[in-house]
Every structure is written in C-alpha cells, then in structure tokens.
C-alpha cells in the first residue's frame, strides 16, 4: 500500500540544462522506502538527469546523520578514489549511510559509436572521455542505485540543500502519516465494496453490508 505513495515536495518547470542544485530542487520528493521489511518515509532527490542517473533515497529519520557525513566531508575534505571503477567502494564513513561510495576523482565515460558499441584504441582497450573532477557519493547499493557526481566547487551547495531538508522533516512526517491513513482507508473501502459486490447475488442489492469482525 505505502509503496505507491509519492508526494512531490518541490517541482519546477523542466529546463534543458540543469546544474545539480536545480536538479535536486526539482526532483525532491517524499517516497516510501523499504527498510528491514518496513516501508518508511524518505526523501528522494537526484543531482542529474537522463540516462545513467538515479535518485538518492534517504529515510527521514536518517537525514541528520546523512547530512553530518556529507558536511564532515566538506569540512575535512573528500578522500581521493582514482583507483577502481565507479561501482567499487573507496570509503565507508558509517556502517549504513553512504556505505556504497564517497570519493573525489576523475569522472570518465566510455566512448561509443552511433550503434552503441564501445570504441577501442589501438591496444584493443576501451577509450574514455574525461569530464574532470567530481565528488561522487552514493548511499544505496544494488539494482538501480547510481552515483551522484558533483563538481567539487558545487559540493558544499548540495550539502547545504540537504541540510535545508532537515527543517521539513516534521511536516513531511505528518504528510506521510496522513497519506498512509488515506491510502489505508481507500484500500479498506475498496475491499468492502468488493465484498459487498461479491455477496449481492441474493437480490438484496444496496442493503448488503459487510460484517466487521467481532472484538
């Protein structure tokens, strides 16, 4: 039931070009995240758009700690991680938050031809295009998880935006609770209507009722 709830917190008109701050502001949403078998409210946001991007999803009750990890990286510096691929962890600041990746290094993408095939060099190895330095962070692992790639000069702005979400947590918690209650009521009403319809073949029509379980 809660899996289907998605509440947009801030939505602006789409633009062709977006910097990560604009992408975050436009994509910020309240969603349900499965954690330890339970659906919990979480903020979802993206710092990019298009192919190869996916949102960060942070439970509301983990947001302060998440922010603390990022702000500490701003203050103390992000460790370099030039070795290894994009999917390889380089730094684990906490057991849970940002457990997948937090590093700074060169961001490269593989070159492909018009058919999507990898362009190889004379040595037979894939060729790449460098996009410069990026701070890369990712809190999720597994299918669909992608790394956020931020220019170093914009990283502190992104962290400030994450920090600004903290003040919204009480309100968003109330919004989530109300949305879940509404979804539960709608689900119960749908079940009651179906049960009434299933039992309407006796000719009693609108007088059918659904008996509640005895206490």
Predicted confidence (pLDDT) per residue in 111-122, tens digit: 888 888 899 999
The domains of the chain, with CATH numbers, are 2-170 (3.30.2450)
User: Residue 100's pLDDT is what?
Assistant: 56
Residues 6 or more apart whose Cβ sits within 8 Å of residue 180? 1, 2, 5
**Residue 109 confidence (pLDDT) above 80:** no
Q: Which of 44-48, 97-101, 137-141 has the lowest mean pLDDT?
A: 97-101
Using 50, 70 and 90 to split pLDDT, how confident is the model at 199?
Answer: low
Structure tokens belonging to residue 160: 């400030």
**Residue 148 confidence (pLDDT) above 80:** yes
How far is Cα 188 from Cα 208, in angstroms, rounded to an integer? Answer: 16
Using 50, 70 and 90 to split pLDDT, how confident is the model at 1?
Answer: very low
CB atoms within 10 A of CB 192: 13
**Residue 175 confidence (pLDDT) above 80:** yes
Which residue is it, tokens 């758009």?
49
Which whole number is the average pLDDT over 126-131?
A: 85
**Residue 14 confidence (pLDDT) above 80:** no
**Residue 156 confidence (pLDDT) above 90:** yes
Radius of gyration over every alpha carbon of the chain, rounded to an integer in angstroms:
23
How far is Cα 113 from Cα 118, in angstroms, rounded to an integer? Answer: 7
pLDDT digits (tens, 9 = 90+) for 61-105: 999 988 988 888 888 887 776 544 444 444 444 433 454 577 777
Looking at residue 19, what DSSP letter applies? Answer: -
């Amino acid at each position: 039931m809660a899996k289907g709830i998605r509440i947009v917190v801030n939505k602006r008109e789409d633009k062709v070009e977006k910097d990560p701050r604009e992408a975050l502001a436009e994509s910020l949403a309240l969603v349900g995240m499965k954690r330890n078998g339970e659906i919990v409210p979480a903020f979802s946001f993206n710092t990019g758009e298009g192919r190869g991007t996916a949102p960060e999803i942070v439970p509301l009750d983990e947001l302060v700690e998440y922010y603390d990890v990022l702000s500490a990286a701003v203050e103390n510096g992000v460790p370099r991680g030039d070795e290894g691929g994009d999917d390889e962890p380089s730094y684990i600041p906490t057991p849970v938050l940002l457990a997948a990746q937090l590093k700074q290094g060169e961001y490269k993408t593989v070159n492909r031809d018009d058919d999507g095939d990898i362009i190889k060099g004379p040595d037979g190895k894939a060729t790449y295009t460098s996009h410069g330095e990026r701070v890369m962070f990712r809190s999720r692992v597994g299918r669909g998880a992608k790394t956020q790639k931020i220019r170093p000069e914009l990283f502190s702005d992104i962290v400030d935006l994450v920090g600004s979400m903290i003040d919204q947590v009480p309100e968003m918690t109330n919004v989530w609770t109300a949305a879940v209650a509404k979804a539960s009521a709608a689900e119960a009403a749908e079940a009651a209507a179906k049960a009434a319809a299933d039992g309407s073949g006796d000719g009693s029509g609108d007088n059918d009722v659904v008996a509640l379980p005895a206490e």
